[in-house]
Amino acid sequence: MRIGILTGGGDVPGLNAAIRAVARRAFDFGWEVYGIHDGWKGLRDGDVSPLDRTAVSGILHRGGTILGSSRTNLTKKPEDMEKAIANTKKFGLDAVVAIGGDDTLSVCAALSKRGIPAIGIPKTMDNDVPGTDYCLGFNTAVTTVADALDKLHTTAEAHHRVIVVEVMGRQAGWVAMMGGLAGGADYILIPERPACIADVCAHVKRRREMGKAFSIIVVAEGAKIKEICDDKAAEQHKDEFGHIRLDLRGLASTLSTAIEDQTGIETRFVVLGHLQRGGAPTVFDRVLATRMGVYAADLLKQGKTGLMVASRGDKITAIPLEEIAGKTKDVDADLCALAEMFY
């Protein structure tokens, strides 16, 4: 049997660990393994090459992805899908293992419907893929956020400032919520709950009246604050899946200016940006990637395809790709309530 492995979408720590796990398990079965470079773009363009044990050796702890990545959407153009299917056959791939987030997995589901045996492994620091408790890269990202908040607390307290910290999170606020909870944020804004600038300012003032001279505000990059958000510039730059460039919203800068203007309290902002998806994976992400990668290969060994590997409780299982394609997992209401207890 010959399988292809690819990584799509934004990179996260843990991708290399997953590639290694799939390949090592496949080698144990006596299979051939091919790397598909730069995500679905590589399958479309025929950028496919063999992987051996040496290629996947020593990469468990490395961030990024040895295969490269892209945000290529094969479903956008019928001819791209046809090229990908033709190259699957050209290179003799009996199955494809796609490691990616909701966009990558939606393409994986579409290929599966076209008769290409495929398995998906959920990867996204946003942790917004439904059907799985955790996605690869999420634990590392929130650990980075919590560490940053620990550092920002000391400088905010020393100068009696408000600091607005922008973190990643397009449609779901898992990084903001979990990172904010772990880092002791004083207010958390997420896409699932439209916010009002007046409420944020009132909270900052209330803390001052309580004798708390500083505040840490965590905001997901996709948060909706209607009084201050202008997405016109961001709308001019969309990827192949129709997503706008969230960094062009300037959310943290705009929010910090609004807070200072309306409260009179000195306010600064920090955009963590790609720091959240860089560096070595945590122990949790290394183990999760290893378990998911091995399970993906085991599913192929059993002749099971059209599935996404999922983490549920302490078990690794699988669900149909069609059940998660095009869907988003929102932050749980109980987590929002928990965060509000500490406002």
Count CB neighbours of 240 within 10 A.
18
Closest CA to 66 of 32, 36, 21: 36
Tokens of 293: 């990668």
How far apart are alpha carbons 266 and 260 in whole angstroms?
Answer: 6
Tokens of 210: 């309580």
**By the 8 A CB rule, do 142 and 177 touch?**
no
- Cα distances from 174 to residues 129, 139, 166, 232, 330, in angstroms, run 11, 10, 13, 25, 8
Query: Which residues touch 305 (CB under 8 Å, ≥6 apart)?
Result: 95, 112, 117, 118, 119, 299
CA 13 to the chain's CA centroid: 10
**By the 8 A CB rule, do 36 and 87 touch?**
no
State the catalytic residue, choosing from 38, 80, 103, 126.
126
β-bridge partners, 248: none
Place of tokens 């607390």: 153
Indicate the DSSP class of residue 226: T
Q: What is the CA radius of gyration of the chain?
A: 21
Pairing of strands 307-312, 315-320: antiparallel
How far apart are alpha carbons 320 and 8 in whole angstroms?
Answer: 19
In the annotation, is 126 catalytic?
Answer: yes
Element (H, E) at 11: none
Residues annotated as catalytic (active site), given as ranges: 126
